[in-house]
Structure 1
Amino acid sequence: MATSHPSTSVEAREEVGRSICVLTYKSLDIGEITQSVSDDSAGATAIFIGTTRNSYQGKVVTRLEYQAYSKLAIKTMTDIIRTTHQSVTRSAHHSAPATVPSIISCALHHRLGIVPVGEPSIVIAVSSPHRKEAFVACEQILEEVKQKVQIWKREYYEGEREEEAEWKTNSG
């Protein structure tokens, strides 16, 4: 059975220097995403994995569905990565030469379509010479994605008709 997707919710991929942003209907491969930011100069890699949980506000969640205005969403994602590279500064207690960036590489992957309970819908990986910068960057990327990226989700609940599921902005 062919799956139909809204014409604006399509797979997209954009590289920003050594970093990458991806929108995909495929399952997210955490190991592959983590490996994509690997670098011998990295002393830390921070990873955030957002998964579909089985409950929300006392209701049993059966699955999530994500759609995006992909052309704009991938641009917004790359803008977030660029801003993160520029805004996350080296920890004061580290005296690395200025030629060593505080963020080496970032990967931001967001899934589209149906995401069953327990599966990742977003994976963010950040490599950095030091842990603090990696954690700060990872959290900054997540918060910016939730506030700005043109992705909507629909939660399906046990015992409710599918037509009752509402689209929500990707903020929670």
Structure 2
Amino acid sequence: YLTATFYDLLKKLYDECNSKCGARGSNCHVKACVKDCRTTSTTYQPPRYHDPKCKSIVQCNATLPTLAKYGFVLGDPERLNRDGQSHTKRTCRDFCDVFKEAFEEDSHLVKFFKTIDNFMFTIRAPFIWLNVALWSLSLFYLICVMVGRLDVLHIRSHLRIPSSHKITAQSLLAAAQVGRLAKISYLQP
């Protein structure tokens, strides 16, 4: 259950980060990059390198508290915030885009969680099927006792009187036979 909880918390983190920083109309989405930034100006596959004047994820007021709420921190804030090197600068929108890719159906994270679920079922499968088989056997035995006598199954009853093997389940349930069966000491409290 730990993997499902971890996945749910990551999904909540993504939803909260996306609503505060990654959604269109949010401050980070609109104002993080300058007008001439290469990542926003091209319509085709944009490069990942920002203009040195763009605001990084470290300068966002909403990201750090959101990450801290879920137990995460920025590993190297200086590297993410360097003004002179644009190849290491990342914005909130970049973070949300990468996070979004992690939850797609063919991502490694989703495949990893599905593999864990399959592994857990493979480990538990023999015990599950053994449990099903034993309960089925118990139910079959109970049905046989309710329908027929035990001596048909060659199972000896622990009643030692000679007429005990002639008692059927239907006769035990019949109200008219209660007086005759009251003589059997086994059925008396």
- TM interval, shorter chain, is under 0.3
Which protein is richer in helix relative to its size?
Answer: 2
TM-score normalised by the chain length of structure 2: 0.20
Give the greater-gyration-radius structure (CA): 2
Q: Point out which structure has higher relative CO (alpha carbons under 8 A, 6+ apart).
A: 1
TM-score normalised by the chain length of structure 1: 0.21
